[in-house]
Amino acid sequence: MPEITLVEAVTQALAYEMGADNNVVVFGEDIALNGGVFRATDGLHAKFGDDRVFDTPLAENLIAGITVGMAAQGLKPVAEFQFMGFIYPGFNQIVCHAARMRNRTRGRLSCPAVFRAPYGGGIRAPEHHSESTEALFAHIPGLRVVIPSSPARAYGLLLAAIRDPDPVMFLEPKRIYRHVKQDVPDNGEALPLDTAFVLREGNDITLVTWGAMIKETLAVADQLTNEGLSVEVIDVATVKPLDMDTILQSIAKTGRCVIIQEAVKTCSVGSEIAANIAEKGLFDLHAPVKRVTGFDTTMPYFKLEYDYIPSEARIKQAVMETLEY
């Protein structure tokens, strides 16, 4: 079996679940005939036809609204927003209707929908093409927010998201869409939602991250390992609800933690993780928790993107300061 990229794993998961469940439908801007701006739906229209893979107008409010309607009537819609920064016109439908459907109907209806969007920076695109605003959706009761960081996790987590009876925001870090390839068996095996993954075990410090920042974090862990340090790396994967048990168990072992995210620092997912550590793991800490983040600005254009996205140097500096505290 050939190795595949993260974006190809998304395509593979969609094709598998569409083949297994006729209620799964896929739609969005330019996703049918063109296969999507990043080719994540390439070949699905030819395989499953107009009724199950179709293009929509450039109207994100409409995309979100028909997703809610389809889900409430027994379908399993997977809606693609071309970029996360384009999702805001659909925010009302997602927050006021998709997220509240189960509570509003006291369980009589649910909203088994997946809202997919490429997210994050790193491709030198204009404004609205490089957003990392996962915290907006993580704040909303009734929504899951899932961010894969590898081809295998993209495949398994997307299957789980489609099968979940409630709405899932599935944010795909486009900077690593084609960064690595993995052998991903097309066996339909889902990975658990609401579960963090320990990518590397260690005893000296815990690095907590998700999405594209896994790339730089693992690179720093490799450097530190070569320098004789023992580093634990945790991929949060589901940022809402957070698997704090895995994170707290790691901190009880290492006593030190650095949180790495691409998003802005203030009121972020990293802030929530740090607050949970302060509430539940304070006496296990040997040093204050550090955060390495983007800046509290809009993602700058083009060449400045890589000054905004946390670098290996910034991560390593934070780790060393925490270890030396």
Buried b (16+ CB within 10 A) or exposed e, 263-287: bbeeebbbbbbbeebeeebeebbee
CA distances from 50 to 26, 44, 46, 81 (A): 10, 10, 9, 19
Q: What is the CA radius of gyration of the chain?
A: 19
Using alpha carbons only, what angle is made at residue 20 by residues 19 and 24, rounded to the nearest 5 degrees?
75
DSSP state of 302: G
DSSP state of 22: T
| Residues catalogued as catalytic | 129
Instruction: Return all residues near 311 (Cβ < 8 A) that are at least 6 apart.
Output: 216
Q: Please tell me whether residue 121 adopts helix, strand or coil conformation.
A: coil
Q: Do 234 and 247 form a contact (C-beta atoms < 8 A)?
A: yes
Nearest to 208 by CA among 248, 175, 265, 181: 248
Residue 255 dihedral angles phi and psi, to the nearest 5°: 80, 0
Q: Do 217 and 315 form a contact (C-beta atoms < 8 A)?
A: yes
Question: Which conformational region is residue 155 in: left (phi greater than 0), alpha (psi within -120 to 50 degrees), or beta?
Answer: alpha
Nearest to 110 by CA among 144, 60, 59, 62: 144
Give the bridge partners for 271, in sequence order.
Answer: none
> In the structure encoding, which two tokens stand for residue 38, read together?
């990043």
Q: Position 256: which residue type?
A: R
